[in-house]
């Protein structure tokens, strides 16, 4: 047996996973006294820091009492479930982190079910016991019930529970007794999580993650399942289609602290990075050169949503981005599928248009946001959910489990909004000073729902959802009830016209902002679309009369985040995304063309 523990940290979004990993890193004295680090060492890309969520799983290791602990920090959001499913294969146990007030949330259930299916040993950490209204004992019971319902074994149900605050940096077996540091957690990991076993035989390693270096190219990361990998050894790469390719290991590295250390060989049970292997994909097996044996491939849940991605062909094309052609777009999307397992790209009958399949709005929006930061210009269509058919030819649609925590006085409005979109209320109970609501709702009913709920509750609702199952089609759902205000011509919008048009709706642009014909510039107060001219200025004469020049008072424009805009657009609209701007536009920019198309459709 080796002195290695492989552990994955799983939790719902914002329950404190990455903060806890930070504290473990500090406790193990990886850094010298002189080194200074910001909070959230592992959330190292800009998007993760801005949104406060983990998007890509990370590997680090710490040493404690002569034991090496490999820690895998996983995303908490169900949209990034593809990441979680594959990295759990590298672990022997999981650290389940639960908020002492919120308890087990939808995504907790999602990632925990994957860990229990793989037979991993859990340690439960009830975090944030320093919060007001926290209820650690109730939450402990809730986690036990959840594990039981998910079919956990007796060994898994006999879990160790620790209480504490990862922000304050302490953990204890009793939440009423505050300790000095988080060493009780590290002791529990060594005591409870089984050591990584050494399995003898011919070498086998499954690629579960990948890294990239400008010097050595793509790097395969995974856990050695059997035998010993050696530097310079000839191996076989076993692909998804059954083909076997001869490869050679150039270099082997293991995770030490926040970095990697070069080694001559890696034994079974250790997580390592392999360089020098070309043409591999996630799920491939690196096996013996003479007697190659493949490990079973990683299965990933199906996507539930797709979006049309196309090149930017608006009048402002090429003004703000570096990568604007269909070749750029194609290469970037296919490059993403290499490491983003839950994402799929399908070509259409047009060279410059692709259908991209993902787990949800957040999953797709992170890809779009990453691309725009890299300098890409593109347009995307309205998100569409994916339907299936059962054996009798009936249409099935994805249903999500939606959880909303909301102040009691606005619970009625939320229930009304969700049931209008074919949601069914399953649970309603008090939770502290909030009302806890649970619904089953079609995935398409969620598109645009968050905005409406936040507006109705003055921003106080906490919403979470996860995919549940495919069920029979629930019928039509009312979409956005208001039409769009559309610009008639290109040019800068004048304050004079914006002021005069304020009774027609709410605007998405400021005075002086450049717009083009066919751009969606606001929301109409009525259900139909309205094309307006914003470039008209005030007629100037020599005559001046006191009182005729009233002050222009214009409401501030409505700001959209990328996800808000993706949920807002209609079927006949595109979202134009560039490194500096997010604009909405009609697919057909010319008003006469739109009218002709509408007549044909009727």
Q: Are residues 264 and 240 in the same domain?
A: yes
* pLDDT value of residue 136: 84
What is the C-alpha separation between 152 and 145, in angstroms, rounded? 10
Provide the CATH number for the domain around residue 102: 3.40.50.300
What is the C-alpha separation between 352 and 377, in angstroms, rounded? 13
Residue 340 lies in a domain: no
The closest of 337, 229, 219 to 286, measured between CA atoms, is: 229
* Total domains in the fold of the chain: 4
CA dist 377 to 39, 146, 427, Å? 33, 45, 44
Q: Are residues 412 and 452 in the same domain?
A: yes
- pLDDT of 379 > 90? The answer is yes
Sole residue written with tokens 């996973």: 17
- Name the DSSP letter for residue 410: G
Q: Are residues 182 and 232 in the same domain?
A: no
Per-residue pLDDT reduced to its tens digit, 423-459: 999 988 887 778 888 999 998 888 878 878 888 888 8
The closest of 517, 529, 519 to 379, measured between CA atoms, is: 519
- pLDDT of 406 > 80? The answer is yes
The distance in angstroms from the start CA to the end CA of the chain is 72
Q: Are residues 394 and 443 in the same domain?
A: yes
Kindly provide the residue ranges of all beta strands, DSSP E only, lying in 276-394, ordered along the sequence: 285-288, 305-311, 344-347, 353-358, 378-380, 384-385, 388-389
* pLDDT value of residue 148: 87
What is the C-alpha separation between 275 and 91, in angstroms, rounded? 22
Q: Are residues 21 and 145 in the same domain?
A: yes
Show binding-site residues for GTP: 14-19, 127-130
Q: Are residues 430 and 514 in the same domain?
A: no
Q: Are residues 30 and 98 in the same domain?
A: yes
- Name the DSSP letter for residue 216: T
Per-residue pLDDT reduced to its tens digit, 69-96: 888 877 755 556 666 777 788 888 888 8
Q: What percent of the chain has pLDDT over 70?
A: 88
* pLDDT value of residue 76: 58
298 contacts: CB under 8 Å, gap ≥ 6? 85, 86, 89, 206, 208, 282, 283, 341
Q: E strand or H helix at 225, and its extent?
A: strand 217-226
Which residues constitute the domain of residue 418? 388-472
Q: Are residues 46 and 95 in the same domain?
A: yes
End position of a domain, from candidates 472, 501, 529: 472
Pairing status of strand 519-524 against strand 484-487: antiparallel
Show binding-site residues: 14-19, 127-130
| Mean of all residue pLDDT scores within the chain | 82
Q: What percent of the chain has pLDDT over 90?
A: 10
What is the C-alpha separation between 574 and 565, in angstroms, rounded? 10
The closest of 503, 490, 438, 443 to 470, measured between CA atoms, is: 443
Residue 364 lies in a domain: no
- Name the DSSP letter for residue 556: P
* pLDDT value of residue 194: 86
Mean pLDDT, rounded, for 17-45: 57
pTM: 0.74
pLDDT band at 584; cut points 50, 70, 90:
very high
3-state DSSP assignment of residue 447: coil
Give the 3-state secondary structure of 452-517. HHHHHCCCCCEEEEEEEEEEECCCCCCCCCCCEEEECCCEECCHHHHHHCHHHEEECCCCCCEECC
Residue 335 lies in a domain: no
What is the C-alpha separation between 335 and 312, in angstroms, rounded? 20
End position of a domain, from candidates 472, 500, 520: 472
Q: Are 229 and 255 in contact (CB under 8 A)?
A: no
Q: Are 577 and 323 in contact (CB under 8 A)?
A: no
Provide the CATH number for the domain around residue 393: 3.30.70.240
Q: Are residues 179 and 211 in the same domain?
A: no
Q: Are residues 208 and 159 in the same domain?
A: no
Task: Read off the tokens for 175.
Answer: 């939440």
Q: Are residues 468 and 489 in the same domain?
A: no
pLDDT band at 137; cut points 50, 70, 90:
confident
Buried b (16+ CB within 10 A) or exposed e, 377-397: bbbbbbbbbeeeeeeeeeeeb
- pLDDT of 44 > 70? The answer is no
Q: Are 38 and 226 in contact (CB under 8 A)?
A: no
State the DSSP string of 504-570: GEEESS-TT-EE-TTEEEEEESSSS-EEE-----PPP-S---TTSSPPP--PPPPP--HHHHHHH--
Per-residue pLDDT reduced to its tens digit, 90-118: 888 888 888 888 777 766 777 788 888 88
Q: Are residues 70 and 188 in the same domain?
A: yes
Residue 333 lies in a domain: no
Mean pLDDT, rounded, for 294-323: 85
Beta bridge partners of 311: 378
């Amino acid at each position: 047996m080796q002195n290695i523990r492989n552990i994955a940290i799983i939790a719902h979004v914002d329950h404190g996973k990455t903060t806890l990993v930070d504290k473990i890193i500090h406790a193990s004295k990886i850094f010298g006294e002189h080194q200074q680090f910001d909070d959230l060492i592992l959330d190292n890309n800009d998007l993760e820091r801005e949104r406060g969520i983990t998007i890509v799983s990370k590997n680090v290791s710490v040493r404690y009492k002569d034991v090496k602990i490999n820690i895998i920090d996983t995303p908490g959001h169900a949209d990034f479930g593809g990441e979680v499913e594959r990295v759990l294969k590298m672990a022997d146990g999981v650290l389940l982190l639960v908020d002492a007030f919120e308890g087990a949330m939808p995504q907790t259930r999602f990632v925990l079910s994957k860990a229990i299916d793989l037979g991993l040993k859990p340690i439960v950490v009830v975090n944030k016991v320093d919060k007001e209204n926290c209820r650690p004992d109730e939450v402990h019971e809730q986690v036990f019930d959840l594990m039981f319902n998910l079919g956990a074994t007796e060994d898994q149900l006999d879990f160790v529970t620790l209480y504490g605050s990862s922000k304050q940096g302490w953990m204890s077996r009793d939440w009423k007794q505050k300790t000095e540091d988080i060493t009780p957690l590290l002791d529990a990991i060594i005591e409870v999580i089984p050591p990584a076993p050494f399995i003898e035989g011919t070498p086998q390693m499954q690629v579960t993650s990948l890294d990239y270096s400008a010097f050595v190219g793509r790097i395969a990361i995974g856990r050695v399942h059997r035998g010993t990998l050696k530097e310079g050894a000839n191996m076989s790469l076993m692909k998804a289609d059954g083909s076997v390719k001869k490869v050679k290991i150039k270099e082997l590295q293991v995770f030490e602290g926040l970095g990697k250390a070069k080694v001559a060989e890696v034994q079974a049970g250790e997580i390592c990075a392999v360089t020098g292997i070309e043409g591999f994909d996630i799920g491939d097996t690196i096996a013996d050169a003479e007697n190659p044996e493949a490990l079973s491939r990683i299965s990933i849940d199906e996507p539930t949503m797709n979006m049309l991605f196309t090149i930017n062909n608006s009048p402002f094309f090429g003004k703000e981005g570096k990568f604007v052609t269909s070749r750029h777009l194609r290469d970037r999307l296919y490059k993403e599928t290499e490491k983003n397992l839950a994402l799929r790209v399908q070509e259409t009958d047009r060279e410059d248009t692709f259908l991209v399949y993902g787990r949800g709005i957040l999953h797709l929006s992170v890809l779009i946001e990453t691309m725009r930061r890299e300098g890409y210009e593109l347009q995307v269509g309205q998100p569409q959910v994916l339907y299936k058919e059962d054996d009798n030819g009936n249409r099935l649609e994805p249903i999500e489990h939606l959880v909303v925590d909301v102040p009691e006085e606005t619970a009625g409005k939320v229930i009304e909004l969700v049931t209008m979109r074919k949601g069914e209320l399953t649970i309603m109970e008090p939770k502290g000073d909030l009302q806890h609501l649970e619904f089953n709702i079609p995935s398409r009913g969620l598109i645009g729902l968050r905005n409406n709920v936040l507006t109705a509750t003055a921003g106080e609702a906490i919403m979470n959802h996860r995919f549940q199952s495919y069920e029979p089609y629930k019928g039509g759902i009312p979409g956005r009830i208001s039409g769009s205000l559309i610009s008639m011509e290109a040019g800068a919008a004048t304050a004079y016209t914006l002021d005069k048009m304020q009774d027609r709706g709410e605007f998405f642009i400021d005075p002086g902002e450049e717009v083009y014909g066919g751009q969606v510039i606001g929301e109409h107060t009525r259900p139909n679309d309205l094309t307006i001219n914003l470039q008209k200025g005030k007629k100037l004469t020599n005559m001046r009369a006191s009182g005729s020049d009233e002050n222009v008072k214009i409401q501030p424009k409505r700001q959209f985040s990328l996800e808000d805009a993706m949920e807002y657009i209609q079927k006949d609209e595109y979202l134009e995304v560039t490194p500096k701007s997010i604009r909405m536009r009609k697919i057909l920019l010319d008003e006469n063309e739109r009218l002709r198309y509408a007549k044909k459709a009727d």
